[in-house]
Structure 1
Amino acid sequence: MMRTLVEEDDLSTKALGRWPVFYYGMGHMLNDITASCWFTYLLLFLTEIGLSPRNAATVMLSGQVADGFATIFAGELIDRFGHFKIWHGAGSLLVAVSFSSVFGGCLPCKIFASSSCTFETVSYSAFAAIFNVGWAATQVSHMSMVSCITLNSTSRVALASCRNAFTMVANLSLYAVAFIVFSVINGKTYVDVQNQYRWIAYLSICIGCCFVAIFLLSTKEPRLKVGIHGEIRARISWVYWFKRVLYYQVALNYVLTRLVVNVSQAYLAFYVINDLQMAQSAKALVYGQFCPL
């Protein structure tokens, strides 16, 4: 038994091949492509279909608040129960359904035949919250798999790098899809605007789901790596991190970076269309220019 454990630990410290790394990188494509669409076009979409800027901001805020809480709970539950691929698959399903419900139109408004702005805002906010809950479950499960797939530090770097590479692929894919849709469909009427964003959302989901399916079929469920040669390490309490200066340094750097990126991403489309009076396709073309950066 001891020999088997040692052999397994030796295998887990070996570098991964190219294909396992490649398949792992695909796993976050749905999250990346929908998140890119979310921050780029959500506010623009909601205001173009008639919501006030305040109500549109409420929808966005509800999603971000849900994401903040869901990330914490998802991490705790995954630590306790494992089953990364189940969490990933369930989260991806929530992302696909709720994302299509937001950009596909207000479904509850149609069901209850309501044209109330308050009801519409609440409906969009509910789906925004569900989207971010699913997004958090997928993100946490996918990121935490790195530590369990291998103990080899070089392979862990390769896994994270491949994941980041597919993030850029997702962004470029979204803006390519958006450029085609905005060029083909002229969004002059309310119906045309809805069709534009509906097609962008549906095509983005199809692309992302294809990559997620490949990831789930090609990646084995990882088991928890307890250490080399059977070494068991005690679980670190979450309070421990609040006592580390490095935690605050990394958190501050990440928060400020995401703030700049998200604000720029959310408001650039308004500037391009409302202030510069550029063509509809510029909403995708301008973003595509900055995407590799």
Structure 2
Amino acid sequence: MIAIRFDRFGGPEVLETVELPAPEPQPGQVRITVEAVGVNFADTHQTDGSYLTADLLPHIPGSEVVGRTPDGRRVLARVPGGYAEQVVAPEAALVDIPEDLPAAHALALLTQGLTAWHLLRTAARLAPGETVVVHAAAGGVGSLAVQLARRFGAGRVLAQASTPDKCRLALELGADGIAEYPLSDKADVILDAVGGPLFDQALDSLGLSGRLVTYGNAARTPSTPVDPARLSRLNAAVIGFWLRPTLSAPGGYTAPLRELLDLTARGTLRPVTGPSYPLTRARRAHEDLLARRTTGKVTLHP
């Protein structure tokens, strides 16, 4: 089978197409023939060695697929080594999905959808009527967070994005306006995946008892160290969030994912799909993602 692998750190250029034997399922596992693979910002951090946990090399990136089991079920699954024509996953990790649900929509709900859900529910603990600012609001997580914030009772949702077209998309998805720092009215919740100078600007616009949730560093530049006294004056908090341990907590995976799938089936939630690349063009997909040339969920297709 064809897979995409890297054996050194360094960015998109380290990704190589290789031929490997098909993986053999162990007891309790199922082999999946891959229909589509999700691409996430975390994958780019893996290739350059900046991910929160170090992976052994050589390594096949990718953590989510839509595909078929040997008995014909169409499933969505979290997996290791997703950039491949075939993968194995624990039977317990499989979620059956309808035939008419586009693969990109399903993949958008797994990592990005669950991240957006937990950012608002678990990390920020959004309360009804609060003002929410979503950075990178046209991206995979941001586009869903804009919609879910409204669904979860936010009083006002403001979007930040890198281009006018992306700002327009966020407004179409339900944002009330565009966030321009410093904010005229302070925010209760700010969701930041960008870091760097934008994190510092957001912190200056955090209101009393506000929560700034940081869950990425797309800028690849350090933020200014946070002075605890600065937070104390506002009774505010900076909260770090990582999806992986959250999903292993009771109620962290299946129930939120089924809620997201149900909202999508009823047309209440609109996953934004981005470009799709052949599996062998994974390097280009990473380059475009890092250059912010993409909007919504990026996928690979074997």
Q: TM-score, normalised on structure 1?
A: 0.28
The structure with the greater share of residues assigned to helix is: 1
The structure with the greater share of residues assigned to strand is: 2
Larger RCO: 1 or 2 (CA < 8 Å, sep 6+)? 1
